[in-house]
Amino acid sequence: MNPFFKIILKLLSSPRIDIQEDYQSIRKLQQFFYAKPKKTYRILDDQIYAEDQSHEIGVRVFQPKEQKYSEPVLYIHGGGWVIGDIDSYTRACINLADTLGRTIYSVDYRLAPEYPYPAGLKDCFRVAEILLEQLEFTGPGDVSKWIIMGDSAGGNLAAVVSLLLRNRGLTIPYKQVLLYPVTYWDHSEQSPFESIRANGHEYGLTIDKIQSYMKLYVPDETDRKDYRVAPLMAEDLSNQPETLVITAEYDPLCDEGEAYAKALFEAGNKVRLHRVNNAVHGFITYPKFAAPLDEAYRIMNDFLTRT
């Protein structure tokens, strides 16, 4: 790993950064660095109403430079359920749209701690329902031809949305892509996953940060073992979309992401697992030319285009 990059990661791993105290400041920094994009024909902002009509959910639609495939992608951003939004992920979604040749729908779900679990999950599920309804009228003949994708906490939400769609008898995506997802509830030193201990101190995303995010998202400890928070705890993982799980070598979440891929496979699903070596958590937001992202794009394209 690049020595300069390692220094940056150590700075980001500083215990002085307290997520529970500093999340608002981090949001402000994101808003400063990621201004709202200019309106163009390739980017469209829309809103849909929550099921109970209590609030609007923002959805940003990204059209690729060249539309190669008709299947849309529902993208759920990361940020520990606490930070991140469609502005901070706009560049990543533009790159995804262009690289995959597909329309990307990005969800601006509600964030904790102002809106703890299950608020953000309900927003993501609602957008999935609306996308299904839209496909019935305007999409391809087969309404199952859509893709769900998410990174980190967004990967967690994507996995849970797929489970909920199945449980409620609705059409599941035909494929899902989970980038270094959160799939388990315990991120302490007592975690069953070695990557938490091996990578949880000096690679940017630390054990303390993960636990802080979880506390803000799910204040009630008893709820954290529910499959809607920790999909690896689901008793039934059958009948899920064909799945690609991408992990990062130096990510504390590496092992639990790979454990979820294994559990899906053992439940009878088609699963592909790929670990990006010499990479850390969060690379989907890197510049397009970054080696880990270039590798991930290649794997995603191969997975999505194979029938």
Q: What are phi and psi of 94, to 5 degrees?
A: -60, -45
Q: Which of 85, 151, 212, 281 is catalytic?
A: 281
Computed over its alpha carbons, how large is the radius of gyration of the chain?
18
Q: What one-character-per-residue DSSP string does 170-203 give?
A: PPPPSEEEEES----S--STT-S-HHHHHHSSSS
Rounded CA-CA distance 107/26 in Å is 20
Give the tokens for residue 210: 């993960």
Rounded CA-CA distance 212/221 in Å is 12
Task: Establish how many alpha carbons lie within 13 A of residue 224's alpha carbon, considering only the half-sphere containing its beta carbon.
Answer: 17
- Residue 13 appears among annotated catalytic residues: no
Per the DSSP assignment, residues forming a β-bridge with 176 are 148, 243
Q: Where are the alpha helices (DSSP H) in the chain?
A: 3-12, 19-33, 90-100, 119-138, 153-167, 194-199, 207-217, 254-266, 291-305
- Residue 18 appears among annotated catalytic residues: no
Rounded CA-CA distance 79/27 in Å is 10
- Residue 251 appears among annotated catalytic residues: yes
Q: Which of 151, 208, 251, 255 is catalytic?
A: 251
Please tell me what DSSP assigns to residue 213: H
Q: Which of 106, 152, 162, 212 is catalytic?
A: 152
Q: C-alpha distances in angstroms, 160 versus 25, 37, 173, 187, 287?
A: 29, 30, 12, 19, 28
- Closest-CA residue to 165 (of 120, 201, 130, 118): 130
Give the active site residues. 152, 251, 281
